[in-house]
Structures are given as C-alpha cells and as structure tokens.
Amino acid sequence: MSICHSGLDSKVQGGTVEIEINATHPLIQFANSLLWDEIADIVMQDLKSTTAKKKWWIGRPLKLRIHLSIYMLQQLFNKTDRQIEYDVKDNAAYQLFCGRASVKKWHCPDHTKIEEFRSRLSPDTQQRLANHITTLANRLGFSNPAQFDIDSTIQKANMAYPSDVHLLTKVGCMTKKVWSYLTKKIINFQLEPISINLKEIKTKARACFFSKSQDIEEKNRRLHDLWMSVFKQVYPVLKILDKVLDEVDWKRMPWNIKQTAEQLLQHAHHYLVDVTIFLNRGIMEADKRLSFHLDQVSCFNKENFKGLQFGRAYQLGRVGGNFLIVGKCTSIRMEDKSSVRPMIEMHQELFGKEKAISTALDKGYYSKNNKHILKEMTGDAIGLQQPGKSLIAYTEEELKKQSELVNRRADIEPLIGHAKHGGQLGISRMKSDETTESSGYSAILGFNGRQLIRYLKGAASPCK
C-alpha cells in the first residue's frame, strides 16, 4: 500500500463547493410529501394572535416556509436552537429542505428567531402538527387507522429530585440571590441586620444527605435542624419582600431576580409549612411543592421497576403502520380510565367515524363503562384486558382473538421508547409548564416524521 502526503503542509482556504443532492434524498422526498399549505393553516392563527398589536400584515415579512422547515428538522433530529442553526448553515440537504431553491431572499434565521417562532406556537397547535403527520401517512397509504392501540407514558420534567433536603437548600440559595441584589442596589437594605449563611445551610444539608443512620428519629432531627436554619434566615427576607413589593420598581429589576423573588413570595412560606407538617405528623401534604419553577408536576409510580417519576402523563395512540397520535393533556396525571372516550373521539375526528376499528388497551384502562364505550364507538373487536380474568373464561376462538389483540397492543411499547429517545418525551429540556407540554407533542411530531421518511425511502412496507 502506498501513502500520499499531499495536503499535509497546506492551509485550508475558503472557496465555493458544489454539492449535488439527489431527488431521492430522504429529506427531499419528505419535503415534497408534506402539505405545506395545510401546515401553514394550522399555525397561522397563533402567528396572527402573537404579533405585536395584532397587526400581522405590517412590518418585515416572516419567511414562514423557512421557519416551519427548521421546526420540522429540529424535531426530527432532536436539535437545540443553536445546533439546528449551525446545521442549516452547513448542510446542503437541510437548506434545500428549508426551501432555498423556492423562497425569495432565502436566509438561515438566527437561533434567537428560531426560539421566538417556536414559542409563538401554542401547545394545542403543536399537538395538531404532530397528529397531522399521521393523517398524512394515512392519505399516502402508509398507515391503517382501523387498528388503534392506546397506552400512556410519563415525561420527566426538567427538575432535580424533589427531596426536602434539596428544596430547603434551594430556598436558601434563592433567598441569598435576591437579598444580595437588593442590598447592592438599595442603600436602605444595607442597614438591615440580615445575612444569609449558605455555608451553614449546606453543612446541615450534607449532614442529612450523607447520614448513614437508619433511625427515623435521627433523620427527622437532622432535617429539623436544616429547616430551622433555613427558616431563621429566609423568613425575615420574605417579610421585607412582601412589604417592599409596591415600593420597588420590579419591572426594572433583572428578569432572573424578579422571577426568583416571585417564586419565593408565592411558594416559600407554604412549602416551609408543609415541611413542618411532615416533621410533626409524618404525613406529606397532597399539594406539597415538588418544584419552585414548575407548577404542573406530579409524582408517578407505575410499578414498572422505574421507581418514582416526576413530570406529566401523555395518552398516546398507535395506528397500524406504527404511527402515533397524541391526546390533548387536559390534566397533569391523565388517568387511564378517564382517557378512553377522549382518545376514541380524537381518532374519529382525525380519521372519520364511518369504519369500525379494533382497539387494544391494557388492564389500567379497564372498567365496565369503558367496555361499553368501546363497543358503542368502535365495534366488537375490543382488546380491553380485564384484571383477574382467567383465560379459561374465553372460548378457543375468543382466546385466539384476544391473544392477537394483546400481542398487538404490546407493539406500542417500543414505539414509545423510540419517541422518548428521539425527542423530549423522555426528559424535557424546557423550564416552563407550557413549553414542557409542547415538547412532549413535538417529540411525537419528530417520531412520526422519522417513520414517514422510512416509508418514503422504502425501508418499511405500507400497512394493509
């Protein structure tokens, strides 16, 4: 084997490179299969309502085709705003997907504009976009809505594990942050004999966290010491913040200081009271805070060896061809038994009521009322598993049919896994309740887009 040394001693120069993108490229096929006019109609109401002074027809025009394409790419490949900006600038196929050959005065938006456009889309709109890809797959003959399986999953919130040790320490850190700003900017507060000793708080927190004692009383004593340390230092600051709320111009404060101060005023006192109740009675309050920056968070224990999970639940439906539709989150927990009718109604809204469908659900959805609902709305092909019912109760023909439906329902589990690992359905990167909910919907959009690309390039066979 010979070796070529050319180029080792030369500098790289800027220049023009011609790159040929074949028409069979997956992104080109995907772009040509999407109905951009329908997608634009879905987002148009949000764009009109979020324009300054509601005069959306005035000002510099928004390149809708570019922003919609970048939003699609961002969900397909689970990119951050900065990452997708770099990729669009460097990737020729991405640029063609984003309409470089068809949009007048094409350009790649800055990452701040990418984030701004996505933030203008409401959670409802992003849910509709996710389900639109599934309906498009049905029109192209890649899916079969006559098969419909339902399951739920948990999206973990962007928050630390909500232990009292961690949250009490966080209250101390938040108070230190706000009080340091106030004493630096307002001279009168410099005369107040208040100091936040974070070193003392963190020392007591480490004593709780690294305690090897299994004695409950000893653990509660250390937690009580931490609570007392936090309370003595935080409470005087809370009283001052409550008094000066009208005197200080909060609008001129930095957004992070203002946000932290509002969280302290809204939640700190109530949380300290809840910890006191736990120390005295040994019972946690039902509405106890799990996070200071998120309100829509609940604790889940699905008994599937994953332990406690903190976040929100989503109801997902799988149609034949392995595409997903996502139900609207009307509550944080989205209980299984109460979600059957809304999911069937959403399926009928997307695909019509004319044809009977076969449904498959696990034991968590079972109730006599749900069995009646499924029979009334979908037909007789019902795979609603009943807890405690022996297989002996079925005839041979019924057993074969039920086994097929049970096995088919199990197929939704790996699809949920792919949606989680390819997007933010597993763990959200967002820091507000609304954007966290939206990230779950957009993860389903990305999954459905990747599935559609597989069919377009021939990696999967159309469902019959």
Cα dihedral 9, 13, 18, 21 sign:
positive
Q: What is the pLDDT of residues 356-415, one digit of tens each?
A: 889 999 998 999 999 899 888 888 788 888 887 665 666 777 778 888 888 889 899 999
List of domains in the chain = 26-120 (no CATH), 123-159+305-445 (3.30.420), 164-281 (no CATH)
Interatomic CA distance for residues 301 and 305, integer angstroms: 9
Give, for all 464 residues of the chain, the pLDDT tens digit. 789 988 888 888 888 888 889 999 999 999 999 999 999 999 999 999 998 888 888 888 999 999 999 999 999 999 999 999 999 999 999 999 999 989 999 999 999 999 999 999 999 999 999 999 999 999 999 999 999 999 999 999 999 999 999 999 999 999 999 988 888 877 667 767 788 899 999 999 999 888 777 788 888 899 999 999 999 999 988 888 877 666 556 667 788 888 999 899 999 999 999 999 998 888 888 889 999 999 999 999 876 667 889 999 999 999 999 999 999 999 999 999 999 999 999 999 999 887 788 999 999 899 999 989 988 888 878 888 888 766 566 677 777 888 888 888 989 999 999 999 989 999 999 999 999 999 999 999 999 999 999 999 988 877 66
Q: What is the 3-state secondary structure (H, E, C) of the chain?
A: CCCCCCCCCCCCCCCCCCCCCCCCCHHHHHHHHCCHHHHHHHHHHHHHHCCHHHCCCCCCCCCHHHHHHHHHHHHHHCCCHHHHHHHHHHCHHHHHHCCCCCCCCCCCCCHHHHHHHHHHCCHHHHHHHHHHHHHHHHHCCCCEEEEEEEEEEEEECCCCCCCHHHHHHHHHHHHHHHHHHHHHHCHHHHHCCCCCCHHHHHHHHHHHHCCCCCCHHHHHHHHHHHHHHHHHHHHHHHHHHHHCCCCCCHHHCCHHHHHHHHHHHHHHHHHHHHHHHHHHHCCCCCCCCCCCCCCCCEEECCCCCCCCEEEEEEEEEEEECCEEEECCCCCCCCCCHHHHHHHHHHHHHHHCCCCCCEEEECHHHCCHHHHHHHHHHHCCCEEECCCCCCHHHCCHHHHHHHHHHHHHHHCHHHHHHHHHHCCCCCECCCCCHHHHHHHHHHHHHHHHHHHHHHHHCCCCCCCC
Within 8 A by CB and 6+ apart from 297, the residues are: 157, 159, 290, 291, 310, 311, 312, 332
pTM of the model: 0.92
